[in-house]
Structure formats: structure tokens, C-alpha cells
Amino acid sequence: MIEELINEGQYSAALRELNDLSDEKTRLLRLVCLNALGEYQQAKTEGMLAKAKAGDTYYDVVAQYVMTLKETGDFEEAINILVEELSMPYIPYEYESTFNAAYDEILLAKQEVNYDLESKSQIFSTEEIELILQRDDVNEDLLYMALDQMQQLNIRMLIPSIRNYLRDPNKPPFAKTLMMELMIEQQIDEEFEVAKNNTYYDFNPSYMPLVLAQTAYMGIGKKLQSALEDENPTLLNQCVDYLEYYLYHIYPKEIYEEDFSVIAAALHYYVATLQNIEVDKDDIEIDYYVDFKDVERQILALREIE
């Protein structure tokens, strides 16, 4: 009967029936009702006891309790509980997914509250950033917030986590490049292994240029400029934007000077087709002094990074 009331949204009526606080199921259902009614301070008081005494309902109680702590603004306490649970050797898969999602939500909520009250460097702790980097299913907004904050930190504190991140082939390549640039800017002199596009690269920040300081960026950009500056400056800007995206995606792969023309031609043709602009293949060959078969192969490489 009580669970029927809860399923029907009659939380106040259900709460009046939930009086046996010696029963752990009752304690759990009271948390469900209190959270649904917005009675977060009462839920916080009862949740602390429910968590301490929980047995079979433990993971459900923790899920409800961290939801309460999020609503009361007790972000650090909620984060500490989730970090502790997610660090356990075993946790049922369905609860691991729930706790990971809750962790993302609480960090985002903390960021929103703190943004106007604190400097960016105070939003996430180093430990929170490390956990974000370790996660396989991290919220993208959360990941880039962490990367933004890493600019404020001494990156050396995060090198073990960064090292693991860079050599994990499943991590997003763009985020890896941003980390590499942070280490270049802080003149880190260490060897790293970077997995990108089914290839592993050796990388030492101390002697690598920033992405847009590479000769490839300037060289390919000049070839695009020669072909498009007078004819279609808008398309030129779009091609340069896509060039930057491409270079960030493949970095630290080296691009040789003899490939500049083919890459520029492929960018010209590919970006034009995306904009429904007709481009004659013969004109591409003439403008860039290339064989269009080589251009087609490069276009396939561009498509693969989308």
C-alpha cells in the first residue's frame, strides 16, 4: 500500500504511514518521500542514520542521501561519499552507473554555485580532477571544465593521471591535445606515450610546439590562402577553422612539407562540399599542383575524424 502511494506521487500520505524507524526499508522509503517533497534538511538528518544502519538497502540509501546532500549544498560531503563508494573493489554495475551520474551532477552543481563566489581555481580539487580523468564515461562538459581549471594548476601534480589518460586509446583525442598543450606551456620535461587513431606517439612537451605554432599550420594555411583569399574569403576562413580542428585531432602526428598541398586541397574540396559549393576537381589539381587521387585519400582521413 505504501509503495502504491509513492508510485502515485502521494508522498505526504505515504510518509504518514512510514513510522517504524527500526526497519531499514522504512528508513529508505522515508528518504524517498522527503526528497520528493523537498524536505531536504529532514532528509539529511534521517539519511545520516539510514546510511549508518543500512544493510540490504545500503546502495539505495546512499543514492538518496547524496541526492539530499546535493540539494542542501553539502557538495563536498556528497563527493566524498561517492568517491569512497566508487573506489571500492566491487560495486554492483547498476549502482556504479547511478553513482557516476550523481558524481557528474554534483560537480556541475558545485561549479554553478561556486562560479560567482570563488575563483575558477577553487571549483574542483586536484583529487576531483584526477577522478574525472580516470572515468571512462565522464560528462563532456565536466571534462572540459576540469581541463579549463587545469590551466590554473601546477600540472606536475597531475602527471600520473595525465600519463594514463594520454596512453588510453579510448579517451577523446581533442582533450588529449589540450592536456599536451598545458604541459608545453608549463615546460614539462618528461616522456609520454600518446595513443591516437590506432597509433602510439612518443611525446616530450619540452621540445614540442603548440598545435598552431607548427610549420604545418602555417604552411597549409598559406596554400589555402593562395587559392581562396581572392576567390572566396568566407570559404577560406571555414577551411582554416577545419584545419585547426584537424590538427588538434591528430597532434602530435608530424605532417611533412611534401604533404601540405594535398592536405590543403583536401580541406578546400571537403569543406566546400559540406557547404554545398561546387568545386571542379581539375581546378583543385591546378590550384594545388596535386593528383586528385591523392586528395581523395586525404578526404577519407578527414572524414574519419568526425
Give a three-class secondary structure readout of 150-177. Answer: HCCCCHHHHHHHHHHHHCCCCCCHHHHH
Average pLDDT, the chain: 88
Q: How far apart are CA 185 and CA 252, in angstroms?
A: 15
pLDDT at 114 over 70: no
Structural domains of the chain sorted by starting position, each given as residue range(s) with its CATH number in brackets: 2-115 (1.25.40.10), 123-208 (no CATH), 212-304 (1.10.472.10)
pLDDT band at 123 (very low <50, low <70, confident <90, very high): low
Q: Could you report the per-residue pLDDT of 193-243, keeping only the tens digit for each?
A: 999 989 999 999 999 999 999 999 999 999 999 999 888 988 998 999 899
Q: Could you report the per-residue pLDDT of 261-272, keeping only the tens digit for each?
A: 999 999 999 999
Least reliable range by pLDDT among 45-59, 246-260, 290-304: 45-59
| β-strand partners of 195 | 200
For residue 41, the number of C-alpha atoms closer than 13 Å in the C-beta half-sphere is 0
pLDDT at 181 over 90: yes
Helical ranges in the chain per DSSP H: 2-7, 11-17, 24-37, 40-53, 58-72, 75-86, 93-115, 126-134, 140-150, 159-166, 173-185, 215-228, 233-250, 260-274, 281-288, 292-304
pLDDT band at 33 (very low <50, low <70, confident <90, very high): confident
pTM: 0.66
More confident residue, 164 or 29: 164
pLDDT at 167 over 50: yes
pLDDT of residue 121: 46
